[in-house]
Amino acid sequence: MAKHYGVAIVPTRVYKARDKAPAEKGVQIAERRIIAKLRHRQFHSFTELHEAVREQMGVVNQEPFKQLPGNRLTLFEEIERPELRPLPPTRYEFADWKQVKSSMDYHVQYDYHFYSIPYLHAGKQMVVRATSNIIEVFCDHERIASHIRNYSNRDRYTTLPEHMPSNHRAVAEWTPERFVSWAGKFGPNAQSYISHLMGRREHPEQAYKTCAGILRMGETIATEGMEAICRTAIERNIYSYKYFSILFKQMAPEKRSADPVQHKNLRGSGYYGGGTDA
């Protein structure tokens, strides 16, 4: 911001309270001689309030100094105005920088939204520059993607078609058919659920990460349990990883602790305690 406006930011010196006094004095004058005078007036618009503040500020600036010649306005015209420069042609725009890693579906996440990048950069470390309007993605100090920032809570993916060729080697092994086939190991309900999940996205690739996470969860329980969970998810219209995982935790059967191993070479506590336990 300082570079944009051509100014220098100079912190006050440590243990030198006098450096801050002029700024605090200016705040005190504004509170006592402008705000205090207007505290009993009622304003019906910001424009009306601004006009009243500007009027009182003019009175304060033109009041003569008690011990010096002139007033605040003449001092400003004589010393400060000649040093002023015009503002930059564009407003300063605040940007948030964040390090991210692109996923297998060549999207990067920022503020719970996914933005596409060229497929050649899938799996690499990226830097996202986010402003109120634009999302820019950099790889090795080079800008590789730019999107209009999306604040929608429904459409969580912003994808450019040129970023996602279906025949690229990085995603060739991840296809809708593969996920449907994987779901077939559990049963028809799981297949139907995965098919619906991918069909709800503009591009099937956008659902790959969600499908992989859900099917990996299914590998930890019996096929009957996964079938029942998928059937319930379809009935309740649950098609996100977050809410499917909640449903999974509610419905998945608890894992039984493994039966103790019985072997002739294993000895019990009595053996090590000097007893006769073999």
What is the tens place of the pLDDT at every residue in 41-100?
Answer: 999 999 999 999 999 999 999 999 988 899 999 999 999 999 898 999 998 999 999 999
What is the tens place of the pLDDT at every residue in 188-220?
Answer: 999 999 999 888 887 777 788 889 889 999 988
The pLDDT value recorded for residue 148 is 94
Mean pLDDT of the chain: 86
* Beta-carbon count within 10 A of 208 CB: 22
pLDDT band at residue 169 using 50, 70 and 90 as cut-offs = very low
pLDDT band at residue 145 using 50, 70 and 90 as cut-offs = very high
What are the extents of the domains in the chain?
A: 16-83, 96-169, 174-251
pLDDT band at residue 168 using 50, 70 and 90 as cut-offs = very low
The pLDDT value recorded for residue 200 is 85
The pLDDT value recorded for residue 25 is 86
pLDDT band at residue 272 using 50, 70 and 90 as cut-offs = low
